[in-house]
Amino acid sequence: MGVIGCADIATRRILPVLAAHDDVDLVAVASRSQAKAERVGAAFGCRGVADYAAVIDRDDLDAVYIPLPPGMHHEWALRALRAGKHVLVEKPMSDSYENTLELISTAAELGLVLAENFMFLHHSQHGAVREMLDHAVGELRVFSGSFAVPPLAPDSFRYQADLGGGALLDVGVYPLRAAQLYMTGELDVLGACLRMDEATGVDVAGSVLLSDARGATAQLDFGFEHSYRSTYALWGDRGRVSVRRAFTPPEQLKPVVRIERQDEVVERSLPEDSQVVNAIDAFVRAARAGDPLGSDTSATLRQAGLVDHVRRVARIVDGPAAGHHERELLGEGAGLG
């Protein structure tokens, strides 16, 4: 395997797992900086190069992992696929539905594995929640989800529109994806609001209201200007179940799920798990077996369509908190990169 980019997610969470994995030979890592590439490569026992293309073109690689900013995913994932490599790309797979469709179609035509690295989907707590739905929730009426973090470093790509920055693509995609785990069929976007930062031109916060064919709704919130929150809840005709650390639980954490029913409140501790290790395991198994991950790519395409739908219907709130004014967001992804 090779790695295209030395983002924090790569050096802090993915590269340690790849370097230790019994079925992975980590060959090379690329950065824009030769010094950084060599430093990261030395830390994880592989070659460091200052050339993304040089890694993709190596004939001793079967697969690459791409943790670049979202606006760069399409270009480099497409180049890797066309070079005959399986691809694990950080979420979101790309910055638009059309680009995601091209990547999925290309992977299918070439018989290659293409996976979007939504690691939270691989944590066992979500399977445990699904098993308790009939008893604790009943028929789902409302899904609610929030993922937000405090303001990030000013030089982060998340504040750069041309790199696919913005809260929707970085943190908003998590509750959007989680809603699809529990709601039925295609989801409709009833409304959305995105708060735009005038200085950077990217959205820094947002809310979305969804519905499914049965009339269940999802209320989602996300952003870069909040205290940390990573949670979702399911509320039905029998009760309510809430997941406290839904998207980024530490691997040593035993997640606590709260179950609320008439005259009864129970908190259930679930086993600790590593969603990072599980996600890498799933990709490695698929690549070794040549499995195109058809069901996962279908979900990825639905997710990309939902993100674009949010952009089409969203209202943008401009300016500082004291002087908001609204304008309609025109076109797909206008102002969002």
Catalytically active residues are 91
Quickly list H helices, the chain. 8-9, 15-20, 34-43, 52-56, 70-82, 97-110, 124-131, 133-136, 167, 173-182, 275-289, 294-313
Specify the residue for token string 């999802």. Answer: 218
Element containing residue 230 per DSSP (H, E): strand 229-236
Asked if residues 236 and 138 have their Cβ atoms less than 8 Å apart, the reply is yes
Q: What is the DSSP letter of 101?
A: H
SS3 assignment, position 271: coil
| Listed residue (88, 110, 75) closest to 300, CA to CA | 88
| Structure token pair of residue 175 | 């509750």
d(CA 240, CA 259): 6
HSE toward the beta carbon, residue 328, CA cutoff 13 A: 5
Element containing residue 260 per DSSP (H, E): strand 256-261
| Structure token pair of residue 50 | 């200052």
d(CA 202, CA 253): 33
Sheet holding 86-90, edge to edge: 47-49, 28-30, 2-4, 63-66, 86-90, 114-117
